[in-house]
Amino acid sequence: MTAASAPGKVILFGEHAVVSGAAAIGGAIDLRARVSVEDMPGRTQIDAFNLTLQGFSFDLISGQLNSAEAENAIRYISAVLKEFRADDLRVSVESSIPTASGLGSSAAIVVAAIAALNSHMDLGLSQKEIASKAHEIERAVQHGLGSPTDTALATYGGHCLVAGGVKPIDLPCLDLVVGCTGLPHDTRTEVERVQSLRRRRPEIVGPVFQAIGAVSSEAVSVMREHRLDELGELMNINHGLLEALGVGTRELCELVYAARGAGRALGAKITGAGGGGCMIALPRPDGKAALMVALEQARGRAFIVRTGCEGVRVETST
C-alpha cells in the first residue's frame, strides 16, 4: 500500500481581481487530504471516509454509489485513475478539509492521489509535473475552471504569489480562525457573475480590481514584518472591496462582522470566491478562543488553521 497527503489552502488576499491579472496571495493550511492505493486484482474500488460527510464506497465496475454527496470526490479520483490508466486498485480517501467551501479540497485530493500513484506505480513524476498534471485534471473535471493556485499550494505548500503566474513566496506562518457557513458555493458561478459585472461596468469594477491588487502587494511586506494590526486592516479593506463586487452573502458577512465585533479580531474577510463557503479572521494574541465563540454564536463552524504548511508528501509505501 502507498499513501500520500496534501494540504488545503486559503486565499489571503486578491480573490476575483486575480482573474483579471491583479496580484493574489494564498497559503497552504494544516488541514490535509490523504489518499492511499493498494493492489486489488480484478477490481477497482474507491472508498472514502471523513470527507466532512458520511463515509461512502463506490465500485467503478458496478457503478454503485451509496452517497449522492460523494459524487464530486468520485469524479476527481476517477479522472486521476483514467489519466494514468490505473486499474486493479483500491483507492481510499480521507480528508479533514470541508468540501465546496473554498479551502482547496478537490486540489488536495487530486495532488495526493497523483503522488500516491506516482510512488505506487513508479511513474517518476517530479513535483513540478505533479502540480502541472493535477491542474490539468482539475481543469478538465471543472470544465476549464480550475486554478493553478490550489494545485500549486497542495503540491509545494508554503505561500504563493499569483501575478501572471504562480510562484512560491517566503512569508511567515499565520494562525487564523476559519468560519464556515456550511453553505456550498459554486466558484464558476461567482467568477462568471463578477466578470459579467466587470464587462458591464468596467469603469467601476476596474478600479476595484486595481485596489484589491494594491492590497495584495502591500500585504507582502506587512506579513514579512509581522505587522499584524496593519495586516488586519488590509483584510478588512479587501473584504469591503469583495462586498462591492457582490460576492458577500448574509451568512458570510454575519461571520465577518461577528469576528470583528464580539471576537475582537484584528481583521476578517471572505476567503475564496464567496457566495457561501468560508471566511478567515486574524485573532489577537491569546484571542482565538473568544473569536471561535463569536463565530459559533453567529451560527458558523469555527476552527483554527495555520498557513505556510508542508506540501504533498508520501507517507507510507509497502
Active site positions, annotated: 150
**Spatial separation of the C-alpha atoms in residues 310 and 3, rounded to whole Å:** 16
Tell me the three cell numbers of residue 245: 463586487
Give the distance between the most distant pair of CA atoms in the chain: 61
Tell me the three cell numbers of residue 228: 499584524
Indicate the burial class of 298 (C-beta count within 10 angstroms; 0-12, 13-18, 19 or more). Answer: buried
**Spatial separation of the C-alpha atoms in residues 247 and 194, rounded to whole Å:** 8
What is the chain's alpha carbon radius of gyration, rounded to the nearest angstrom? Answer: 19
User: At residue 22, what are phi and psi to the nearest 5 degrees?
Assistant: -75, 165
What's the length of the chain?
Answer: 318
Which residue, among 178, 125, 132, has the nearest Cα to 154 in the 3D structure? Answer: 132
Amino acid code (one letter) for 92: S
Angle between helices 250-260 and 288-297 (to 10 degrees): 150
Q: How far lies 154's CA from each of 30, 86, 135, 293, 294, in Å?
A: 11, 22, 10, 30, 30
**Spatial separation of the C-alpha atoms in residues 293 and 305, rounded to whole Å:** 16
Tell me the three cell numbers of residue 253: 458577512
Angle between helices 105-120 and 71-83 (to 10 degrees): 30
Tell me the three cell numbers of residue 99: 468540501
